[in-house]
Amino acid sequence: MRNHHFFFDDSPMGGLRAFLSSTRLHLHRYLWSPTRTLSTMGSSSSTSKFTTEVLSCDPASIHFPPDSDEPSITSPETLQALRAASHHLKAKKQCVVFPTETVYGLGALALDSDASRRIFATKNRPPDNPLIVHVSSMTMLYRLLPPGYRIPTHYEALVKRFWPGPLTLLFPNTAGKVPDIITAGHPTVAIRIPSHPIARALIAVADVPLAAPSANSSGRPSPTRAEHVYDDLKDKVGIILDGGPCSVGLESTVVDGLHEDNNLRILRPGGITVEDIEKALAEDLEGSDVPVPRVLVHRRDYEDEGIEQAPTTPGMKYRHYSPTVPVTLLCTHSIPPQDTTPTSPHDYFSSLKYLSKTVARPAKVGVLLPSDSPLQAFATDVPGVDFHHFTLGSVSDPSTTAQRLFDGFLTLDKLGVDLIVIEEVEEDREGLAIMNRVRKAASESRWLR
Ligand code: TXA
Ligand code: MG
């Protein structure tokens, strides 16, 4: 057993900090549902049934000193929750839900096939969709790689700049250290070091790599708050660590840099933007004798028959990111297909009253628009339609839109709306990842001018 250093701060200020943070967390809990919630065990699903406990954790109480992989944890409540989660993972070989900076993850021991199999059962995830392995340090990363493996220079630049953080890199699994159930039998394994203090501390406390997909039933939007997870997976998981809302809100960027041409292929756009990756590579490699690799976005810059068929490019093969209600994408600047005549915003929003006939009451329409979108003025005052607005970031602030997107889908879904409309955003910076998720969620597109 490794010796961990957990520092309790029992100075008067530490006590005050603990009190303040626990007050804040209690308030947060109170706002969405009772915590340490005991849910009933009446579900008849084939997965194990649990009494789901939601344990509050305070991310601000966890620090990783720059020169150490060991967290210092000043909140006793948080430390206790992390230890309970670690026990659940290691002794019981069960799944635990934990927050990451991107979305909440459903974690299990990555190197234990039986434990990892529970992830697939809990989410109802197809077994041919591989999982990301989460580690807390470079030392733990190396334990998963083939002996003597040297990280490629272009990866080094990305690791230096973006780890810990929302970037997932593909590595060779040629030594077979990671079980096939995680890699879906591929010769590569996807790995990242999360920057969320609770995620990283949980992995460090347990001292094991954790496989973790997003903590949602397959096909649903990824959860960005503990409440989203509870609504979806209660009774199916024993422990949900609640660390508040995720700051990035979209999943990590998945990068494959293992091709012979040394170019980086973006399999899934995400929390780290393509622009940021290009900038980091240019800054790190220019002037060196290593050529700066190109960054290729799948489907935008290259096609690959192989990954179209296999599910390794997330969302290619399977339904993804969909709320239970239909989603319509409102295209306000992209060019309509040749045979499509755009509608005026006024006519489009007025036409939504047809929905009230279908549902025999005023229609409930969820509206996801940038805060300063000109469409805001039209999504109001239509007889027979109740609009429920969930505001995204401003047009110039795609990172706020990214942070709010899944919360918007899930909140409107829970409100029981009959339809969600969402406006397209420019496909640069976080907009690339936003539109990647929105296109998969939308069942229909309408062009408005
Ligand atoms: O931000 C995230 O990445 C979150 C948090 C929890 O870390 N996790 C997440 O996991 O989004 P998941 O399973 O929902 O998406 C991971 C994607 C999968 O869809 C899979 O296709 C891809 O990463 N992936 C995993 N291993 C791969 C591999 N060996 N080759 C190619 N793609 C892989
Ligand atoms: Mg997912």
**76-126: pLDDT as tens digits:** 999 999 999 999 999 999 999 999 999 999 999 999 999 999 999 999 999
Q: Whose CA is nearest to atom 19 of ligand 1?
A: 314
User: What are the residues whose beta carbons fall under 8 Å from the beta carbon of 44, sequence distance 6 or more?
Assistant: none
Which atom of ligand 1 lies nearest, measured to the CA of 105? 6
131 lines ligand 1 (CB under 6 A): yes
Question: What pLDDT, on a 0 to 100 scale, did the predictor assign at position 308?
Answer: 57
Q: State how far the Cα of 122 lies from the Cα of 236, in Å rounded to an integer.
A: 6
Question: What pLDDT, on a 0 to 100 scale, did the predictor assign at position 319?
Answer: 58
Q: What does the domain layout of the chain look like in residue ranges?
A: 1-7+32-317, 327-447
Q: Where are the alpha helices (DSSP H) in 171-235?
A: 180-183, 197-206, 226-233
Which atom of ligand 1 lies nearest, measured to the CA of 182? 26
249 lines ligand 1 (CB under 6 A): no
How much distance in Å is there from the Cα of 123 to the middle of ligand 2? 10
Question: What pLDDT, on a 0 to 100 scale, did the predictor assign at position 38?
Answer: 39
How much distance in Å is there from the Cα of 379 to the middle of ligand 2? 31
Share of the chain above pLDDT 70, in %: 86
Instruction: Tell me which residues have their CB within 5 A of the ion that is ligand 2.
Output: 214
| Mean pLDDT on 260-272 | 96
How far is residue 237 from each of residues 50, 93, 366, 433, measured CA to CA in Å? 6, 12, 30, 29
- Nearest ligand, CA of residue 178? 1
311 lines ligand 1 (CB under 6 A): yes
- Nearest ligand, CA of residue 267? 1
Question: What pLDDT, on a 0 to 100 scale, did the predictor assign at position 286?
Answer: 87
Higher-pLDDT residue of 11 and 245 is: 245
| Mean pLDDT on 10-36 | 39
User: pTM of the full predicted structure?
Assistant: 0.90
Q: State how far the Cα of 75 lies from the Cα of 16, in Å rounded to an integer.
A: 11
2 burial type by CB count under 10 A (0-12 exposed, 13-18 middle, 19+ buried): exposed
Task: Name the token pair of 120.
Answer: 């697939």
Q: Whose CA is nearest to atom 10 of ligand 1?
A: 213
- DSSP secondary-structure letter at 171? E
Check pLDDT > 90 for residue 263.
Answer: yes
- Provide Rg for the chain, Cα atoms: 23
Check pLDDT > 90 for residue 4.
Answer: no
Which atom of ligand 1 lies nearest, measured to the CA of 186? 29
One-letter amino acid for residue 307 of the chain: I
Q: State how far the Cα of 111 lies from the Cα of 144, in Å rounded to an integer.
A: 9
Q: Which of 136, 174, 251 most suits a substitution to test ligand 1, by most atoms within 8 Å of the C-beta?
A: 251
94 lines ligand 1 (CB under 6 A): no
- Nearest ligand, CA of residue 132? 1
Mean pLDDT score of the chain: 89
Question: What pLDDT, on a 0 to 100 scale, did the predictor assign at position 306?
Answer: 64
How much distance in Å is there from the Cα of 222 to the middle of ligand 2? 6
Q: Which fold has domain 1-7+32-317?
A: DHBP synthase (3.90.870)
Question: What pLDDT, on a 0 to 100 scale, did the predictor assign at position 32?
Answer: 55
How much distance in Å is there from the Cα of 48 to the middle of ligand 1? 24
Q: What is the CATH number of domain 327-447?
A: 3.40.50.11030
Question: What pLDDT, on a 0 to 100 scale, did the predictor assign at position 218?
Answer: 95
| DSSP E strand boundaries for 193-280 | 210-211, 239-242, 253-256, 264-268
Share of the chain above pLDDT 90, in %: 81
How far is residue 113 from each of residues 94, 151, 183, measured CA to CA in Å? 12, 26, 11
Question: What pLDDT, on a 0 to 100 scale, did the predictor assign at position 413?
Answer: 97
267 lines ligand 1 (CB under 6 A): yes
Check pLDDT > 70 for residue 70.
Answer: yes
Helix axes 274-285, 153-162, angle to 10 degrees: 120
* Fold match, 1-7+32-317 / 327-447: no
Check pLDDT > 90 for residue 34.
Answer: no
Among the listed residues 132, 308, 315, 98, the one whose alpha carbon sits nearest the alpha carbon of residue 218: 315
pLDDT digits 0-9 by tens, 48-61: 688 999 999 999 99
